[in-house]
Amino acid sequence: MSQTKTNKKASSQRRATVDEASTLNTVLNLWPYIWPADRVDLKRRVLMALVLLVLAKIVTVLVPYSFKWATDALTAPADGGGAGLPGWMVAPMMLVGVYVLGRILMVGLNQMRDALFARVGQHAVRQLAYKTFVHMHELSLRFHLQRRTGGLSRIIERGVKGIETIVRFTILNSLPTLIEFALMAAVIAYQFSWSYVGVIAVTVWLYVWFTVRASDWRIDIRKVMNESDTDANSKAIDSLLNYETVKYFNNERMEAARFDASMARYEGAATKTWTSLAWLNLGQTVIFTIGMGVCMALSARAVMNGTQTIGDFVMINALLMQLSIPLNMIGFVYRELRQGLIDIADMFNLLAVDAEIVDAPDAAPLVVEGGTIRFDDVRFAYDPERPILKGVSFEVPSGNTVAIVGPSGAGKSTISRLIFRFYDVTSGSITIDGQDLRSVQQESVRAKIGMVPQDTVLFNDTIRYNIRYGRPSATDEDVVEAANRAQIADFIETLPQGFDTEVGERGLKLSGGEKQRVAIARTLLKAPPILILDEATSALDTHTEREIQSALDVVSRNRTTLVIAHRLSTVVNADMILVLEAGEVVERGTHAQLLAKNGLYASMWERQREASEAEERLRAVQEADGDFIVRRGPSAEATAGAD
């Protein structure tokens, strides 16, 4: 038992040390955004806000003096000679006015401070959010494939809120409280004695200690409550998004039970949260009230001994009541600061992730004259123990179309990712017009290459926006022309809102063929000298595939084109076909040459031809049956009626 306690204590100490180091690092990382080197105006605002902060706290501490003087004036003899007050201070109404003015000034200075600091805080929020957003796009595809996009967005969202929390509570709450306590200690030591300061110091220390310990306990409960809330919310959204599936399998009760189980955990944690808050508030009240009671007892005794006035008794009470306001916020501030530091630390940890693919210091823009692509003994592996490409070499001459085919997992799509430089090759080289991709700027490489992928994902915006995404500076006339060349303009014209029609989340309001045509129009508008078609028709039915293929033929005309295909019927006219298997080029040649070899390509062609013929026969039977029903149906019904 003793050993267990020792281990827990050691673990707690280590965790505290780590938390302190992390907090310090987070504050140091945040400071350049609060005190930006290139913004003199914001630095001026910070300094002015700090001046107003100090002035506000001085006024806050002095306001109780007017309360004291008014009390002494009211309890003094009628001739105004009591309590040793100057003649102008004897008039209670004047002192009440001073008190009111002081209160207004105190609040006014605080509000001016907040208003001045608002731009500083929001600038820090904007700069960090922008930097994180840009950094997310600089990180490699590997990073994004390993992380959940929703999780990344939550890190950014919480980090932004965390910055506001740190700025608001550290600069505008915690620091003012410390200044107020220091000023109050000086006033109480001067006006009363150090014994009062000692009592208040012990009270504040106990108050803070109890608040921190209780808040730590409550944070753990809050985590459980948040996790349960997130779990319940996830289950609800997942269930509603899959509404049809739930209905298909008649599992409404199961989904409701799963949701209720999460809400039951939330209910228990939420109950503990409110119960613990009650205990926290009670403990804070007991500690502070006892401390205030001791100070008032000391003052009451001094009044009875004649060493203090009734105004002093009122003043010590007013000072402590003012101190209780920021102290009451300590639990909330501590919890928010701790959570804010954790959230900001997550964001800074994200910013600390190095980009896997970076431009060389002397990288120059890619210059494309003909657009010849060359792979020279390229080897690549996502995981060192599982090589994907094993010495691949080929060339796509300028203006030619080269197709890459092969079974699933052969490494076809990896080739397109390497050309876009989402990854760098493990060994070997990839060149465009003799320029190694690793020696040129990534941005210039992607500007020269167009892509029509298998799974076209559109932005949740208009058709016009999605086509114009290929070249944001394009005019409306350019967009319409691209749509015409992609053979989708006629369809768009039939829509009620035409080019301004919303396509929905990920383009789900459009069919697969319509989305592909938008993607083709987008690529046509970009007008790249190099084109990659990555299984652009494999997800479509045969009829739609044939229609899309004619549009793709238009896109690839007079361009260096690399076609990655699953359906061999789409590449029969390619200048060269490469057959990839297990990361190696096992066959190469034209369609006729590969069929003559009677190898892997020929066997794939035969299987797909048989499948295509079976599909055609099935469609013919279905069409014939439908035609028979249409022609014979009325007679059959009439006969049935006669029977």
Closest CA to 141 of 421, 371, 384: 421
Which run of H or E residues covers position 484?
helix 476-485
Tokens of 556: 């690839």
Q: Residue 430: pLDDT above 70?
A: yes
Query: What pLDDT band is residue 392 in, cutting at 50, 70 and 90?
Result: confident
Does residue 510 share a domain with residue 476? yes
Q: What is the pLDDT of residues 432-487, one digit of tens each?
A: 888 888 888 888 888 888 888 777 778 888 888 888 888 888 888 888 888 888 77
- Position 506 scores a pLDDT of 64
Please state the length of the chain. 643
- Report the alpha-carbon distance of residue 29 to residue 344 in Å, rounded: 9
Please check whether residues 161 and 209 belong to one and the same domain: no
Amino acid 632: pLDDT:
45
Q: What digits encode the pLDDT tens for the residues 269-292?
A: 888 878 887 888 888 889 888 988
Q: Return the sign of the alpha-carbon dihedral for residues 31, 37, 42, 47.
A: positive
CA proximity to 165, closest of 36, 347, 37: 347
Q: What values do phi and psi take at 430, rounded to 5? A: -125, 125
Number of domains making up the chain: 4
Residues 244 and 381 in one domain: no
Residue 32, pLDDT > 50, answer yes
- The answer to whether position 625 is within a domain reads no
Token match 């001045």: residue?
116
Domain match, 185 and 39 both: yes
As a whole number of angstroms, the distance between CA 254 and CA 232 comes to 14
The residues with which 561 forms a beta bridge, in sequence order, are: 401, 531
- The distance in angstroms from the start CA to the end CA of the chain is 93
pLDDT at site 201? 86
- Band the pLDDT of 342: cuts 50, 70, 90: low
% the chain with pLDDT above 90? 0
199/278 same-domain check: yes
Query: Residue 357 and residue 424: Cα distance in Å, rounded?
Result: 7
Q: What is the pLDDT of residue 256?
A: 87
Out of 369-383, 430-444, 611-625, pick the least confident.
Answer: 611-625
Say whether pLDDT at 65 is over 70: yes
pLDDT reading at 425 higher than 70: yes
Q: Quote the mean pLDDT of the chain.
A: 76
Closest to 521 measured CA to CA, from 455, 444, 446, 465: 465
| Whether 169 and 143 share a structural domain | yes
Which one, of 100, 95, 79, 77, lies nearest residue 309 by Cα? 77
Over residues 310-331, the mean pLDDT reads 78
Strand partners of residue 403: 563, 577
Tens digit of each residue's pLDDT (9 = 90 or more) over 477-514: 888 888 888 778 888 888 888 888 888 766 777 777 78
Nearest one of 106, 85, 108 to 95, comparing CA atoms: 85
Please report which helix (H) or strand (E) contains residue 588, including its range.
Answer: strand 584-589
Calculate mean pLDDT across residues 244-257. 81
Three-state SS string over 267-284 comes to HHHHHHHHHHHHHHHHHH
- Alpha-helical runs (H) found in 242-251: 243-248
Q: Domain residues for 148?
A: 25-192+338-355
Whether the predicted pLDDT of 18 surpasses 50: no
Assigned token pair, 166: 């740190």
Triad 17, 19, 23: Cα angle to 5°: 120
Residue 255, CB-side half-sphere exposure with 13 Å CA sphere = 19
For the stretch 160-216, pLDDT in tens is: 777 767 766 666 666 677 777 777 778 888 878 888 888 888 988 898 888 888 877
Quick one: CA dihedral 333, 334, 339, 343, positive or negative? positive
Distance, CA of 583 to CA of 563 (rounded, Å): 17
Domain CATH for 521 = 3.40.50.300
pLDDT band of 73, cuts 50, 70, 90: confident
Q: Domain for residue 411, yes or no? A: yes
| Separate counts of helices (H) and strands (E) for the chain | 20, 10
Let me know if residue 618 belongs to a domain: no
**How many C-alpha atoms does 459 have within 13 Å on its Cβ side?**
11
Q: Do residues 178 and 201 share a domain? A: no
Within a domain: 229 = yes
The answer to whether residue 315 sits within a structural domain is no
Q: 86 with 160, same domain?
A: yes
Residues 523 and 533 occupy one common structural domain: no
Q: How far is CA 596 from CA 226, 394, 402, 573, in A?
A: 65, 21, 19, 16
The pLDDT of residue 173? 66
> E-strand spans in 412-529?
427-432, 435-436, 449-452
| pLDDT in the model for residue 87 | 52
425 and 559 within one domain: yes
Residue 298: is its pLDDT beyond 80? Answer: yes
CA-CA distance, 165 to 158, in Å (whole number)? Answer: 10
Q: Cα(418)–Cα(49) distance, rounded to whole angstroms?
A: 53
| Helices 92-138 & 40-75 angle (0-180, nearest 10) | 150
CATH code: domain of residue 155: 1.20.1560.10
Which range of 247-256, 326-335, 605-614 scores highest in mean pLDDT? It is 247-256
In this predicted model, what pLDDT tens digit does every residue of 120-151 receive, in sequence order?
A: 777 777 777 777 777 776 666 666 555 555 45
Q: Please give the share of the chain, as a percent, with pLDDT higher than 70.
A: 75
pLDDT at 637: 38
Helix (H) or strand (E) holding 232, with range, is helix 194-241
Residues 520 and 387 in one domain: no
| Confidence band of 228 (pLDDT split at 50, 70, 90) | confident
605 found inside a domain? no
pLDDT at 8: 43
The two tokens of residue 459 are 């932005």
**Residue 215: which of 322, 335, 329 has the closest Cα?**
335
Across 398-415, average pLDDT: 83
